[in-house]
Structures are given as structure tokens and as C-alpha cells.
Structure 1
Amino acid sequence: MSKIETAFAPASPSAPTTVDLDAYFARIGYDGPRQPTLAVLRAIHQKHPDAIPFENVDVLLGRPISLDPADIDAKLIAAGRGGYCYEQNGLLKRVLTALGFEVTGLMARVLWMVPADVPPRPRSHMVLGVRVPGDDTVWLADVGFGGCVLTGPLRLFSDEVQATPNGDFRILPMAELGGERQVQADLSGKWAATYQVALGPWGDQDYEQVNFYTYSHPSSHFTWSLTAGRTTPDARYAMKNNRLTHRDADGALVEQRDLSADELEATLRDVIGLPVEPAWRPLIEKIVGWGTPA
């Protein structure tokens, strides 16, 4: 194991790991083995983004996002809601740890759809480094990246093209940045950067400040635009305000169009899979008025 890979050793846990595995597995529709194997990691990683969508509706409703495990479980498991990276990957981290995997919280700088001439954004995306017991391979796991979410773990320290159930990815070293790893997705034959993973573990408490920024700071796009997504075995669906983008499992564009308020409400319910509440209707109408951000 290289010195760089050693940097991804799990941080000391901030609190005991607690999660209702039976409830979580029922939520994602998983009834397979519960041993810490690569096959189990792959199965869970594919099912999670199909069942638990990415969404920031609560932020737009002015509700704070709690990272307390009980609050995350009540929202994402019991209430059938989705969430963003800290909620999604925080939940997955507890699940994998309970199963016996070695899991490290990591941080990444988002590059997705960011023009090359824009100054670097702060690191704001939570991802996971996962090891199967007895194997030094570090697997990148991430079920919280919207419409381009991974549906399978990737070898973090491999430069090869890696297949997932929903398209190919590669992870390239950034030598000029101390060996950080840039994740790229194949979009119909063109590589697009998604984010850049920084070295070193993060403890659970380290995410509190960036989470507060994400749901409350006016420069955070989550505070002024709808972002939602769901990835099924056959398709990727991404919402940016009222614009729906539908890609097939290989990343090829199938459809992209702007939705009316009625269509947006139906899409959030029937395509993204959210339990739309009547109280969301004023927000939905406001989102349609915002249009698609540049």
C-alpha cells in the first residue's frame, strides 16, 4: 500500500455507528447477503441511488439540514425523502461500517459543469473511501452526486477506465495538486470532470460547518435553485429548476425539456420518486418562474 493510499485510513469515529439495517435495506429493496464483500458493496451502491433520490427541497423551503443520524434516518428512510451528499453518504457510511467495511469520510471539490475560467470553488462534496476487510484496495463510494451519481464503487487509485451499471468513469491523478484524484464521467464519448477528491480523512464532525454553508449561505446554489436526481438501472434523471434532463444508462442524452408547474410536480413524484406534499406547490410554481440557471 502506497503512502498516498495510507492517507485514506479511516478517521477515529466521532460517535458510535447506529443504523437500522433492516429498515435501510427495505428502503432500497436489497435482500442479499450482509457480509463486507465487494459484491455486497456493489449491490448496495447500485440500489441506493435508485431508491433514495438526490434533492434539496428542504433547503428551498427554508428548513435547516440536520446531520444527526436519527434525523437523516427519519427523513431518507422512514419518510421516503431524499437528500444531498452529507445526508446520503453519511447514511451509507454508517451502513457500510455496520456491515464491517472500513470506511473513510473524504472531501471533494466539485467541477461538474463549472467553466474552466471560473476560480476554484471551496471543497464541498462528501464522498467515501471504502476498504473490504483483508484487501488494501481503496474504493470510491458516492451515492450523493445528483444526476451524475455513481452506481458502483470505483478503484480510487486506478487510472484505468472503469465501468459502472450507468456508464464509464476514470480517475486521474493531479500531480500538481499533491496527488489529488479527479473523477471524470464519459458522456457520449467525451470526458467530463465531476469532482476532485482531496487526500486525508474527515471525521463526522468536520462536515457540520460545510453543511451549514451549503444550506444557508447565499452563494450556495442549493439556496436558490432546485437540484434533484435519480438514477435507475436504465436511466439517469436530473432536475435543475424546471429543466428535466434524461440520459440513458450509458450517458447518452435522451431528452431535455422545461416543465410546467403541473409537469414539475408530477416529475418530482413519479420520476424522481419524492412524496410531494401539498405545501410544496407554491415553491414549485416559484421554481418554474426562476427558469433554468445559466
Structure 2
Amino acid sequence: MLHHPATSSADPDESGPDAPDSPAPAFLARYFSRIGYDGPVAPTLDVLAALQAAHIAAIPFEAIDALTGAGIEIDADAVDAKLIGQRRGGYCFEQNGLFLRVLRAIGFDADGLLGRVRWMLPDDAPATPRTHMVVRVRLDGRFWLVDVGFGAAVPPRPLAMDSVEAQPTQHESYRVTPQGEAWQVAARIEEEWRTLYLLDDVPPPAIDYEIGNWYTSAHPGSHFRHQLIAARTTSEARYGLRDNRLTTRLVDGRIDRRYLTADEIERVLAEIFLLPVRPHWRPAIERAATAEVVG
């Protein structure tokens, strides 16, 4: 049976993505400046939703350091230096690890969960590794799923975990369904429910994040080692880059797809995904420009 622990994740580890940050006021000020947030600061649902929306609009999803072989570290200092100090993006362990520390510093009752990505896979596909981190928040006895690190299909607002009904957003509708000892999170895309991931119900120890991050960033089977991927979601549109294909999905339903040259990829990384493009990315960008994107 699914259960919800009353406290935050057991076994916190200073080196993990949910490590505490101190001092909290200075940390929060840097974070709020990074995402352009100047609203109220209190553990409420409205604040949670506002922070989530500001975060995914300001900090893009990207895994360029995995693609170039630079590697990805998920301890608090490394994540803060990269996502806040260098104004880079990141993937789930970085993004949701940062967001979890922000929420805890504000006073939210929050913990992390791990899951298996099922996005773009058939239902009968073999089990995938536990490589996706999300945040679970408890407010007034209700549990909410919050995710700021799932690329172009990231939920744009908190999702109630006590309802199996469709939950509309300004983009797609989502639903969270109990599946035995797990949760199935799905989005309705082009009139079809598509599973994003299956989440374990129990917060993991820090070592599980480390293992998941190693697989995602370094294992030869990880698609981040072979594809240039970036995403950003605003209130008006979703932007997704997969190698040389840029897809823009507007909230009114219009979809635009374009294929880019290497110079155009560099330009959209800077202008659409707000990234400080580095010279050593160029070989990976040139490979992406000649890729044949399938699907």
C-alpha cells in the first residue's frame, strides 16, 4: 500500500542533492535573483506554484556536460555554482535537488522521490533505471508532486497526489495514479495519455541519487551521452531542442518545428534557452547539427 512519511527524507547526506544550504537567507536571495522572483516567501500552495513557474522559465533543462564528457556533480555546492552562479541549466538531480533545498529553507515539508522514466516508451518496454528525481510537498495534510527537471514535458504547476482525475495546466493536462507501490505520472499530449515516469513511494537514501546521476551522466546507454537536449517552459510556450531540431509548442496549440545549423543551434542555446554558450561545446554542437532526429 502506498504511504506517506510524515517527515522529510531519512538519511540526509551533505553530499546529496537534498543537502542543506546555509545560511538560508543568503542562499534564498541568490536563488530568487536567479529566477527573477520577488513575491511572498511562505510555505503555501500559491508560493509553491509561483516558484515552480518562475524556476522552469528561468533555468533551462540541459545536460551538455554529460554530452561533452565534463561530468555532472550533484552536491549542493556544485549545483549552486553551476545553476545559480554560472547561470547554467541542469537536469533532474540538479534542478529538483536545488528546488528541494529552496523549499526546505522556506519552511516547506518536502522530500525527494526517485522514479523510472517511461517517456516515449511502449507499455511493455523493459524496466528502466531509477534515474528521475522529483519533489513531494505536504501542505495542510495533502501531498503535492512538484517537478522542475523533466525537460519539455515538465509539469508547469504542482500536481495533487490524492486525486486520479485529470489536472489541467496552461499547457497539457496531467494525472497522478497509484500503481501498487508506485505512482504513475502521465500527460495528455495530442489527445493521448502518455506516461512520463513511475515513482517509488519511499524517499531514497542519498546514495541512490548518486547512482542515478552516475548512470544518467556517464553510462554509455544514457541518451544524454549521445544527444544535445535542452528545454524551457514559459507561460506562453514550451521550447525543446533535440540535436538539430527545435520544437516550439504554444499554449494555443500551434506547433513549430525547425532544423538548425550549428550556428543556429548556438544562437538558440543563448537566446531561447538562456545559456552562456562555451567554446568547448562547439564540437558537440557540430555533431548535433548533422544528426538525424527520429521520432
Looking at structure 2, the residues matched to 253 and 194 of structure 1 have their Cα atoms a distance apart, in angstroms, of: 22
Give matches, 1:174-185, under 5 Å. Answer: 174=179, 178-185=180-187
Alpha-carbon offset, residue 152 of structure 1: 0.6
Give the 3-state SS of the residue equivalent to 1:48 in structure 2. Answer: helix
Which one of 55, 72, 93 corresponds to residue 100 of structure 2?
A: 93
1:7–1:199 CA contact under 8 A, matched in 2: no
TM-score when normalising by structure 2: 0.92
User: Match for 2:201: what amino acid?
Assistant: L
- Residue number in structure 1 paired with 2:193: 191
Which one of 54, 58, 63 corresponds to residue 61 of structure 2?
A: 54
Q: 1:151 aligned to 2:156?
A: yes
- Residue number in structure 1 paired with 2:132: 125
- The Cα offsets for residues 141-193 of structure 1, whole Å up to 9 and x where unpaired, read as 1000000111111012310111233332111222xxx2422111122332221
1:171–1:182 CA contact under 8 A, matched in 2: yes
The gaps in structure 2 that reach 5 residues or longer are none
User: Match for 1:88: what amino acid?
Assistant: Q
User: Match for 2:276: what amino acid?
Assistant: P
Looking at structure 1, the residues matched to 56 and 137 of structure 2 have their Cα atoms a distance apart, in angstroms, of: 17
Alpha-carbon offset, residue 256 of structure 1: 1.7
Moved over 2 A (4+): 3-9, 12-16, 115-118, 163-167, 203-206
Looking at structure 1, the residues matched to 215 and 190 of structure 2 have their Cα atoms a distance apart, in angstroms, of: 34
Looking at structure 2, the residues matched to 140 and 242 of structure 1 have their Cα atoms a distance apart, in angstroms, of: 32
Give matches, 1:248-287, under 5 Å. Answer: 248-249=250-251, 252-287=253-288
1:105–1:204 CA contact under 8 A, matched in 2: no
How many pairs does the alignment contain?
286
Looking at structure 1, the residues matched to 219 and 235 of structure 2 have their Cα atoms a distance apart, in angstroms, of: 35
The gaps in structure 1 that reach 5 residues or longer are none
1:170–1:184 CA contact under 8 A, matched in 2: yes
User: Match for 1:172: what amino acid?
Assistant: T
Looking at structure 2, the residues matched to 96 and 224 of structure 1 have their Cα atoms a distance apart, in angstroms, of: 33
Alpha-carbon offset, residue 293 of structure 1: 4.5
Q: CA RMSD in A?
A: 1.7
User: Match for 1:96: what amino acid?
Assistant: L
Alpha-carbon offset, residue 202 of structure 1: 1.6
Cα distance change of structure 1 residues 69 and 104 upon mapping to structure 2, 3 Å threshold: same
User: Match for 2:171: what amino acid?
Assistant: N
2:166–2:173 CA contact under 8 A, matched in 1: yes
Q: Percent identity, please.
A: 45
Alpha-carbon offset, residue 253 of structure 1: 4.8
- The Cα offsets for residues 63-98 of structure 1, whole Å up to 9 and x where unpaired, read as 111111111011001111000000000000000000
Give the 3-state SS of the residue equivalent to 2:43 in structure 1. Answer: coil
TM-score when normalising by structure 1: 0.92
User: Match for 2:246: what amino acid?
Assistant: L
1:46–1:165 CA contact under 8 A, matched in 2: no
Alpha-carbon offset, residue 277 of structure 1: 1.8
Alpha-carbon offset, residue 124 of structure 1: 1.1
Give the 3-state SS of the residue equivalent to 2:90 in structure 1. Answer: coil
Which one of 24, 31, 47 corresponds to residue 24 of structure 1?
A: 31
Give the 3-state SS of the residue equivalent to 1:126 in structure 2. Answer: strand
Give the 3-state SS of the residue equivalent to 1:196 in structure 2. Answer: strand
